[in-house]
Amino acid sequence: MTRPKKSPTQHKYIFVVGGVMSGVGKGVASSSIAKIMQSRGLEVTSIKIDPYVNVDAGTMNPTEHGEVFVLDDGTECDQDMGNYERFLDRDLSGANYMTTGSIYKTVIERERSMGYGGRSVSVVPYIPLEVMGRIDRAAALAKAEVVITEIGGTVGEYENILFLEAIRMVKFKHPKDVLVVLVSHLPIMNDENELKTKPTQHAVRALNATGLQPDIILARAKYPLDDKRKEKIAFNCNLDVEDVISAPDVSSIYDVPVNFESDNLGNLILRKLGMRPRAKDMKEWRAFAAKFHSAKDAVKIGIVGKYFASGKFVLADSYLSVIEAIKHAAAFAGVKPEIQWLDSGKFESGAAADLAELDQYDGIIVPGGFGSRGVEGKLAAIRHCRESKIPYFGLCYGMQLATVEFARDVLKMKGANTTEVDPKTKYPIIDILPEQKKLMADSNYGATMRLGAYPAVLKKGTIAERAYGTGKISERHRHRYEVNPAFVERLERGGLVFSGQSPSRRLMEVAELPRAVHPFFVGTQFHPELKSRPLRPHPLFREFMKAAKERGKR
Ligand code: GLN
C-alpha cells in the first residue's frame, strides 16, 4: 500500500484504545468524544470492534458479556453500541459493528469465491484491510466527517493486535487525519491516595511496540490527576502535559462529555486533527446532565428477574438499557430513581407475606428473559402488581408473562402458560407461531428470532397511543414466542387491551389494562428500552415513571 499524495479521505479518524485493564469506561469515553465532536456541529458516527470470534453478540451470555443490544436492522451487538446511540441520538446499523469472527468470515468467504484472484491471503494485510474498508463504508454511509472507532480489549493482549495494525495502516495512508486516544487507568496504592502512573507508561510502551503513539491519554482514576502526575505521564510517554486529560470517576455517565469539554478536549482534538475551531453547543445536554444532581424526590423501582449468583455489578450490565431508560424518564420527571433488583425466586411460593415486599415500590418492571427458571415467581409478582395497583411495566418476557397471568387468574384458565415453559399446557397463551415452528424444525435457530425494528399500529385512546402521540410506531424486537392469536379474542373480552398490534393484526405488540382499572399496567412485546435517548426518553418509560412518581406521593 502506498501513501496517496493528497489524502482523498473526506473524514477524520479517531481511534480509542484501552490500556492497563478493561472495564474502566472506554465505551463511555468513546461515546463522550463522539458527543463533543457532534456538539461542535460535525457529523459523527461511532464504530465498535469486538475482539471475539463470535460473529455477533447474539450468542453471548449476558452475564458474561453484558446486555445484547439490538439495532434497527436486527444486528445483535455489544452494549457500547447502545451508549453510542444514546449519546449521539442516532440510529446505527450493522455497518458500525464488527467482531474478529465477522471480519474473518467475510475474508474467508471472499477467498472461497476467488475474490482474491488466486493470491495467497495472509492475515496481514488482508484482515486489517477488511477492517479499514468497513470503517470507511460506515463513515460513508453516515456521511460522517469524523468516525470514532473503539477497539475492544486492552493494548498488549494478543486478541486485538490486528486492529491496532489496522490503525497503523490507516495512519500510514492518512497521516494527518488520524488521532489515537488511549484510555488508561491509574490505580491507587494503600491509603495515601497516590495515583500510580507506571501501568500507563507500560501500556504506552506496549502501544509503541505496535507502531502507534497515543496523541491523547485519558487518565481514568478515582480522583482527578494533579499536575505532578500529568507531567510524569507526559514526560514518560512523549506527550505535552495538555494531552493528558484527567478523567475521574463520576456519579453519572452523562457528565463525562461536559467534563471533557471543561478540560477543553474538543479544541485539543480539533487542533490535532487540523480542523478549524468550532463553537460548541451543549446547552441541552448540560441541562439534562444537571437534572441528575438536582432531583431530590426518590422513586423506587423494583426489577424482578431470575438472578442466579450473578451479583449486582453483573445485573447492572445485563440490563444496561433498562437502567438507562429508567434514568432518562426519571430525569424528565424530575425524580431520582432508586433501582432495586428483586429475585423472583422469593415470590415463587406466592405467599402474601413475601409479595407484600413489593408494596414499598413505586413501580415494578419485569424485563426480558429466556427459559423457565424463576417464571412462577415473576407471575406471582405480576399478579400482585395487578391486584394491588402497583405500576407495572413488562418488557418482552414481562409482557408475555403478564398475558399468561391474566389468562390464569382473571380468565381462570388453569395452567395457562407459554410453551417456552410448558410445551404441553392446555392453554398455550404464548406460543411459537407455525411459520417459526417450521424454521425451528430445520434447526435454523438464528432465523427463528424476531430481531430488529418492526412496525406496529396503536389503538386510539389507549395508554400506548396517548403516550406516543401517534398511531404508528416502530420498535426493536428480540424474541421467539408471540401471543397466540387463538386466545386474543378471549383475552380482550376478559378486559386485557392489545393496544399495539402488527399492521397485519396477527402479532400482539402492546398489552395494557385500561386506566380506569389500573394506574399503569403495560407490557410490550418489543424492547422499548433500546430506543430511549437521554433527551428523548421513551414515551412508555416516561408514562411508567409518571405513574410511579404519582404512587410515590402516597
Ligand atoms: N423468551 C421470550 C421469547 O423468546 C422472551 C424473550 C425476551 O424477553 N427477549 O419470546
pLDDT of residue 449: 85
Per-position DSSP letters for 62-110, written without gaps between them: HHHH---EE-TT--EE-HHHHHHHHHHT----GGGEEEHHHHHHHHHHH
Q: Is residue 3 part of a domain?
A: no
* Element at 406 (helix H, strand E): helix 397-409
Which ligand 1 atom is nearest residue 395's CA? 8
Task: Give 328 Cα–ligand 1 centroid separation in angstroms.
Answer: 24
Same domain, 231 and 322: no
User: Residue 167 CA to chain centroid, in angstroms?
Assistant: 25
Closest atom of ligand 1 to 449 CA is 4
Residues whose CB falls within 8 Å of the CB of residue 443, separated by 6 or more in sequence, listed in order:
none
Q: In terms of DSSP bridges, do strands 12-18 and 508-512 run parallel, antiparallel, or are they unpaired?
A: unpaired
Q: Would you say residue 2 lies in a domain?
A: no
Contact residues for 545 (Cβ-Cβ < 8 A; gap 6+): 299, 326, 329, 330, 332, 333, 335, 337, 363, 537
Q: Final residue of a domain: which of 226, 259, 287?
A: 287
Closest CA to 28 of 293, 254, 244, 312: 254
Q: What is the pLDDT of residue 310?
A: 57
Which of 432, 478, 482, 524 best tests ligand 1's pocket when mutated (most atoms within 8 Å of CB)? Answer: 478
CA of 436 to the centre of ligand 1 (A): 14
Which residue type, as a one-letter code, is found at position 50?
D
pLDDT at 61: 80
Q: Is residue 303 part of a domain?
A: yes
**Domain annotation covers residue 6:** no
Residue 167 CA, ligand 1 centroid: distance in Å = 39
> Distance, CA 4 to ligand 1 centroid (Å)?
50
**Is residue 20, in this structure, part of any structural domain at all?**
yes
Residue whose CA lies nearest to ligand 1 atom number 5: 397
Q: What is the pLDDT of residue 157?
A: 92
Please report the atom of ligand 1 found closest to the CA of residue 420: 1
Give the pLDDT score at 435: 74
Specify whether 67 is located in the same domain as 106. yes
For residue 146, how many C-alpha atoms fall within 13 Å in the half-sphere facing its CB? 27
Pocket test for ligand 1, best of 379, 396, 421 (most atoms within 8 A of CB): 396
For residues 269 and 310, state if they share a domain. Answer: no
CATH of the domain at 453: 3.40.50.880
211: left (phi over 0), alpha (psi -120 to 50) or beta: left
Atom of ligand 1 nearest to the CA of 371: 1
Q: Is 527 a catalytic residue?
A: yes
Handedness of CA 186, 188, 192, 193 (dihedral sign): positive
State the Cα–Cα distance between residues 525 and 125, nearest whole angstrom: 45
Which atom belonging to ligand 1 lies closest to the Cα atom of 481? 10
Position 64 in a domain = yes
Closest CA to 18 of 234, 198, 220: 220
Residues 330 and 383 occupy one common structural domain = yes
Cα 369 to middle of ligand 1, angstroms: 5
Question: Residue 90's Cα: distance from chain center in Å?
Answer: 13
Assess whether 433 and 528 both reside in one domain: yes
Comparing CA positions, the residue from 440, 530, 500 lying closest to residue 431 is 440
Using most ligand atoms within 8 A of CB, pick from 318, 393, 400, 436 the residue to mutate for ligand 1.
400
Residue 275, SS3? coil
**Which residues' Cβ are closer than 6 Å to ligand 1?**
368-370, 396-397, 400, 420, 478-481
Residue 343 pairs in a beta bridge with 305
**For ligand 1, atom 6: residue with the closest CA:** 479
Q: What is the CATH number of the domain that holds 173?
A: 3.40.50.300
Which among 532, 522, 534 has a CA at the least distance from the CA of 497?
Answer: 522
Q: List, edge to edge, every strand of the sheet that includes 216-221.
A: 97-99, 44-50, 146-151, 12-18, 178-185, 216-221, 244-248
> 185, 384, 527, 538: which is the annotated catalytic residue?
527
Residue type, 197: T
Q: Can 396 be counted among the known catalytic residues?
A: yes
pTM above 0.85, yes or no: yes
- Statement to judge: residues 41 and 158 lie in one domain: yes
- pLDDT value at residue 57: 86
Three-state DSSP at 387 gives helix
Domain that holds residue 86: 12-287
Ligand 1 centroid, distance to 550 Cα (angstroms): 30
Spell out where 267-316 has E strands. 298-305
Q: Are residues 313 and 279 in the same domain?
A: no
CA angle 227, 230, 235 (to 5 degrees): 120
Q: Which three cell numbers stand for residue 509?
A: 405488540
**Distance between CA atoms of residues 263 and 242, nearest Å:** 9
**Ligand 1, atom nearest to 367 Cα:** 8
Whether cis (ω within 30° of 0) applies to the bond prior to 277 is no
Using the 3D structure, point to which of 253, 287, 321 is the last residue of a domain. 287
pLDDT values of the chain reduced to their tens digit, one per residue, 554 residues: 666 665 556 799 999 999 988 878 899 999 999 999 999 999 999 999 999 999 988 888 877 778 999 999 999 999 999 999 999 999 999 999 999 999 999 999 999 999 999 999 999 999 999 999 999 999 999 999 999 999 999 999 999 999 999 999 999 999 999 999 999 999 988 767 788 899 999 999 999 999 999 999 999 999 899 999 999 999 999 999 999 999 999 989 999 999 999 889 999 999 999 999 898 899 999 999 998 888 889 999 999 988 755 565 567 788 999 999 999 999 999 999 999 999 999 999 989 999 999 999 999 999 999 999 999 999 999 999 999 999 999 999 999 999 999 999 999 999 999 999 999 999 999 999 887 776 666 655 556 788 999 999 999 999 999 999 999 999 999 999 999 999 999 999 999 999 999 999 999 999 999 999 999 999 999 999 999 999 999 999 999 999 999 998 87
Q: Are residues 352 and 416 both part of a single domain?
A: yes
Rounded Cα distance between 171 and 207, Å, is 14
Which of these three, 287, 308, 329, is where a domain ends? 287
- Atom 1 (ligand 1) nearest CA: 370
Domain count, the chain: 2
Which pLDDT score, from 0 to 100, does residue 313 have? 57
Both 276 and 419 in one domain: the answer is no
Q: Where are the beta strands (DSSP E) in 369-514?
A: 392-395, 417-418, 428-431, 450-458, 472-479, 482-483, 497-501, 508-512
For ligand 1, atom 7: residue with the closest CA: 368
DSSP letter assigned to residue 512: E
User: According to the model, what pLDDT value does residue 311 have?
Assistant: 60
Residue 2 burial (10 A CB sphere; 0-12, 13-18, 19+): exposed
Instruction: Give a yes or no: residue 280 inside a domain.
Output: yes
| Residues 49, 178: Cα–Cα separation, whole Å | 17
CA of 81 from ligand 1 middle (Å) equals 21
Q: List C-alpha distances in Å: 520 to 173, 335, 365, 472, 517.
A: 57, 18, 11, 21, 9
Residue 497 DSSP SS3 = strand
Annotation marks residue 157 as catalytic: no
- The answer to whether residues 347 and 485 belong to one domain is yes
For position 66, what pLDDT does the model report?
A: 83
Place of cell 410445551: 423
Provide the b/e sequence for 67-104 (b: ≥16 CB within 10 Å). Answer: bbbbbbebbbbbbbbbbbbbbbebebbbbbbbbbbbbb
Which of 397, 403, 417, 454 has most ligand 1 atoms within 8 Å of CB, for mutation?
A: 397
Domain check: are 319 and 459 in the same one? yes
The residue behind cell 423506587 is 300
Instruction: Given the residues 76, 509, 529, 543, select the one marked as catalytic.
Output: 529
For residue 370, give the ligand 1 atom closest to its CA: 1
Please tell me the distance between residue 398's alpha carbon and the centre of ligand 1 in angstroms: 9
CA of 422 to the centre of ligand 1 (A): 14
Q: Are 243 and 109 members of one domain?
A: yes
Q: Model confidence over 40-84: pLDDT tens digits?
A: 999 999 999 999 999 988 888 877 778 999 999 999 999 999 999
Contact 275, 12 (CB under 8 A): yes
Exactly one of 77, 237, 385, 396 is catalytic; which is it? 396
- In sequence order, the β-bridge partners of residue 209 are none
Please report whether residue 310 resides in a domain: yes
Q: Which amino acid is at 231?
A: E
Instruction: Supply the residue whose CA is at minimum distance from atom 9 of ligand 1.
Output: 368
Which residue is closest in CA terms to ligand 1's atom 8?
A: 368
